[in-house]
Chain A
Amino acid sequence: MEPMNHYPDPIKIREELVEKYPAKVAKKRTKSIIINDPETIPEVQANVRTVPGIITQRGCSYAGCKGVVLGPTRDIVNIVHGPIGCSFYAWLTRRNQTRPESPEHENFITYCFSTDMQEEHVVFGGEKKLKLAIQEAYDLFHPKAIAIFSTCPVGLIGDDVHAVSKEMREKLGDCNVFGFSCEGYRGVSQSAGHHIANNGVFKHMVGRNNDQKEGKFKLNLLGEYNIGGDAFEIERIFEKCGITLVASFSGNSTVGALENAHTADLNVIMCHRSINYMGEMMETKYGIPWMKVNFVGAESTAKSLRKIAEYFDDEGLKVRVEEVIAEEMPKVKAVIDEIRPRTEGKTAMLFVGGSRAHHYQDLFTELGMKTVAAGYEFAHRDDYEGRHVLPNIKIDADSKNIEELKVEPDPEKYNPRKSEAELEALKEKGLEINGYEGMMKQMLKKSLVVDDVSHYESEKLIEIYKPDIFCAGIKEKYVVQKMGVPLKQLHSYDYGGPYTGFVGATNFYRDIDRMVNNPVWKMIKAPWEKTGNEAELAASYVTQ
Chain B
Amino acid sequence: MTAKAATQNACKLCNPLGACLAFRGIEKCVPFLHGSQGCATYIRRYLISHYKEPIDIASSNFNEETAVFGGSHNLQLGLKNVSQQYRPEVIGIATTCLSETIGDDVPMILKEYRAVMGSDEPLPVMIFASTPSYSGTHIDGFHAAVRSAVKTLAEEGPRKNLVNIFPGMISPADIRYLKEIMNAFGIPFVLLPDYSQTLDGGPWAEYHRIPPGGAPVHAIASTGCASASIEFGSTLEAQKSAAGYLEERFGVPRHHLPLPIGIKASDRFFAVVEKLTEKPMPAVYEDERRRLVDAYADGHKYVFGKRAILYGEEDLVISMAAFLHEIGVLPVLCASGGKSGLMKKRLLELVPDLEDPGIRVRENVDFVDIEHEAPELLPDFLIGNSKGFTMSKRHMLPLVRIGFPIHDRFGGQRLHHLGYRGTQELFDRIVNTVIEQRQKASSIGYTYM
Contact = CB atoms under 8 A, between A and B. Distances in A.
Interface of A: 20-22, 25, 49-63, 79, 82-91, 93, 110-119, 121-122, 129, 132-133, 135-137, 151-153, 155-157, 183-190, 397-398, 401, 455-456, 459, 463, 473-475, 477-479, 481-484, 524-525, 535, 538-539, 542
Interface string B78-99: 1111101110000000001110
B39 interface: yes
Contacts of B204: 482-483, 542
A463 B207 contact: yes
8 contacts: A93-B390, A122-B134, A135-B5, A183-B36, A185-B98, A397-B64, A398-B64, A542-B203
Contact of B10 (A116, A156, A157, A479): A116
B205 A539 contact: yes
Contact of A57 (B41, B81, B134, B211): B41
Contacts of B81: 21-22, 25, 51-54
A184 B132 contact: no
In the complex, which range does the number of interface residues on chain B fall in?
35 or more
Contact of A152 (B61, B98, B201, B205): B98
A85 B17 contact: yes
B38 A63 contact: yes
Contacts of B78: 51-53
Interface stretch (B51-59, B241-249, B263-271, B309-317): B51-59
Given A58-B41, A479-B54, A121 B134 contact: yes
A302 B16 CA distance: 47
Contact of B38 (A59, A463, A481, A542): A59
Contacts of A84: 7, 10, 12-14, 133, 137, 337
B14 A477 contact: no
Interface in B226-256: none
Contact of A85 (B14, B64, B203): B14
B97 A83 contact: yes
Give 6 nearest A-B pairs by CB, closest first.
Answer: A60-B38, A85-B14, A53-B81, A53-B78, A52-B78, A479-B54
A54 B82 CA distance: 7
Given A111-B9, A477-B48, A61 B38 contact: yes
Interface string B28-60: 000010011111111111101100111111111
Contact of B7 (A116, A153, A397, A455): A116
A50 to B, nearest CB: 5
A539 B97 CA distance: 45
Interface of B: 4-10, 12-17, 32, 35-46, 48-49, 52-67, 74-75, 77-82, 84-86, 96-98, 100-102, 132-135, 137, 201, 203-209, 211, 337, 389-390
A213 to B, nearest CB: 33
A188 B5 contact: no
B108 to A, nearest CB: 18
A55 B56 contact: yes
A113 B201 CA distance: 36
A112 B10 contact: yes
B74 A52 contact: yes
A152 B97 contact: yes
A113 B85 contact: no
B101 A153 contact: yes
Contacts of B62: 152, 184-185
Contact of A136 (B6, B36, B96, B206): B6
Contacts of B135: 118-119
A173 to B, nearest CB: 20
Given A50-B61, A115-B6, A119-B135, A151 B41 contact: no
Contact of B8 (A52, A89, A113, A463): A113
A79 B4 CA distance: 14
Contacts of B60: 52-53
A21 B6 contact: no
A59 B41 contact: yes
Contact of B133 (A85, A90, A136, A187): A85
Contacts of B44: 475
Contacts of A188: 63
A152 B80 contact: no
Contacts of B8: 111-114
Given A61-B38, A475-B41, A113 B6 contact: yes
Contacts of B84: 20-22
B46 A89 contact: yes
Contacts of A157: 101
Contacts of B80: 22, 53
A214 to B, nearest CB: 36
Contacts of B42: 59-60, 63, 85-86, 89-90
A49 B85 contact: no
A153 B62 CA distance: 12
A190 B36 CA distance: 11
Nearest to A61: B38
Given A52-B74, A153-B134, A79 B6 contact: yes
Given A185-B67, A397-B65, A539-B205, A475 B43 contact: no
A82 B38 CA distance: 14
